[in-house]
C-alpha cells in the first residue's frame, strides 16, 4: 500500500459520498490527486481502495484518474484542443468531479456546498461538453461555453453525451464499425427485457445531425 503524501498546496478539496466527507485531497494542475489529508470516513472510500492491509492511496489516485473521459474516446482530442487542455483529468474539477454513475464528488475545502445543490441527478447541467464531443459548437462560441457537465466523467470509448429530455437524463451513444450494430443491440435487449417483464433500461434509436444513435 502506497503511503499518502500530505497536502501542502492551494487546490484543496474534500472527496465526498453525497454529503459524507470521505478524505481530504489536493489536485495538481493536471487535475490528478497529488496529496492526501485526513481520512474522514474510511468505510465510504471507493470500492477496491481499502483492504485488510489498509488504505491504498495509489488506488484512490488511479480511481480518480479513471473517472475522466478515456483517452481512446472518439472526439476527445478535438475537445481538448478546443479547450486548450492536454489531459481529460483537467475537466474533472470543472464540475466537482460529479457523475451520473455514482454519488462521489469533490467539494472545495473552503466552500460549504451541499450534494443537493449540485448533483446532476436533480440539477440542470450544461450540454456544451457533449456538444463539443459531437463537434457541434463553433470556434467563436468557445469563450462562452460551460464545463459544468456529467460528460466530464462519462466512461467508454464510443461517442456519447448526456442530455436532459423531458426532465429525464438520457445518454445519447454512438456505435462502432460499418454497421454500428451496438446501437440496435441495445434497443433489442431492452425490448426482450420488456417482454420477459424483468427490470431494464429502455433504449431507443434517435437521429442527431443525420446519424443514428441509441438513447
| pLDDT of res. 54 | 94
| pLDDT of res. 3 | 57
Whether 116 and 182 map to the same domain: the answer is no
Whether 118 and 23 map to the same domain: the answer is yes
Domain residue limits at 181: 174-214
Q: How many domains does the chain have?
A: 2
Has residue 167 been placed in a domain?
no
CA 182 to CA 163: how far, in whole Å? 20
Whether 18 and 118 map to the same domain: the answer is yes
| pLDDT of res. 164 | 95
CA 22 to CA 28: how far, in whole Å? 19
| pLDDT of res. 9 | 55
Has residue 107 been placed in a domain?
yes
Phi-psi region of 193 (alpha: psi -120 to 50; beta: other; left: phi over 0): alpha
CA 185 to CA 177: how far, in whole Å? 13
Whether 110 and 180 map to the same domain: the answer is no
156 HSE (CA, 13 A, CB side): 13
Has residue 166 been placed in a domain?
no
Considering 105, 122, 139, which residue would you say is the last residue of a domain? 122
Whether 109 and 193 map to the same domain: the answer is no
Could you read off the pLDDT tens digit of each residue along the chain, which spans 215 residues?
555 566 555 689 999 999 999 999 999 999 999 999 999 999 999 999 999 899 999 999 999 999 999 999 988 998 999 899 999 999 999 999 999 999 999 999 999 999 999 999 999 999 999 999 988 776 557 778 899 999 999 999 899 999 999 999 999 998 877 778 889 999 999 999 999 999 999 999 998 888 899 99
Has residue 1 been placed in a domain?
no
Has residue 141 been placed in a domain?
no
Q: How far is CA 139 from CA 16, 142, 192, in A?
A: 35, 6, 43
Whether 106 and 190 map to the same domain: the answer is no
Whether 111 and 190 map to the same domain: the answer is no
Whether 115 and 16 map to the same domain: the answer is yes
Q: Phi first, then psi: give them for residue 36, nearest 5 degrees.
A: -125, 150
Whether 118 and 185 map to the same domain: the answer is no
| pLDDT of res. 10 | 64
Considering 103, 122, 141, which residue would you say is the last residue of a domain? 122
Has residue 100 been placed in a domain?
yes
Has residue 134 been placed in a domain?
no
Enter the pTM of the model. Answer: 0.88
Has residue 190 been placed in a domain?
yes
Amino acid at each position: 500500500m502506497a503511503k499518502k503524501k500530505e497536502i501542502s498546496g492551494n487546490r484543496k478539496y474534500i472527496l465526498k459520498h453525497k454529503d459524507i466527507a470521505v478524505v481530504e485531497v489536493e489536485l495538481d494542475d493536471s487535475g490528478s490527486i497529488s496529496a492526501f489529508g485526513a481520512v474522514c470516513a474510511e468505510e465510504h472510500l471507493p470500492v477496491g481502495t481499502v483492504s485488510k492491509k489498509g488504505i491504498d492511496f495509489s488506488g484512490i489516485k488511479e480511481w480518480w484518474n479513471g473517472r475522466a473521459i478515456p483517452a481512446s474516446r472518439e472526439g476527445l482530442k478535438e475537445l481538448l484542443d478546443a479547450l486548450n487542455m492536454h489531459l481529460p483529468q483537467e475537466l474533472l474539477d470543472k464540475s466537482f468531479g460529479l457523475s451520473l454513475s455514482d454519488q462521489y464528488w469533490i467539494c472545495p475545502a473552503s466552500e460549504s456546498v451541499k450534494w443537493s445543490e449540485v448533483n446532476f441527478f436533480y440539477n440542470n447541467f450544461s450540454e456544451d461538453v457533449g456538444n463539443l464531443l459531437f463537434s457541434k459548437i463553433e470556434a467563436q462560441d468557445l469563450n462562452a461555453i460551460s464545463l459544468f457537465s456529467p460528460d466530464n466523467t462519462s466512461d467508454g470509448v464510443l461517442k456519447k453525451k448526456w442530455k436532459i429530455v423531458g426532465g429525464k437524463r438520457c445518454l445519447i451513444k454512438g456505435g462502432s464499425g460499418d454497421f454500428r450494430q451496438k446501437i440496435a443491440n441495445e434497443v433489442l435487449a431492452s425490448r426482450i427485457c420488456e417482454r420477459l417483464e424483468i427490470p431494464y433500461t429502455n433504449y431507443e434509436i434517435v437521429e442527431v445531425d443525420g446519424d443514428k444513435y441509441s438513447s
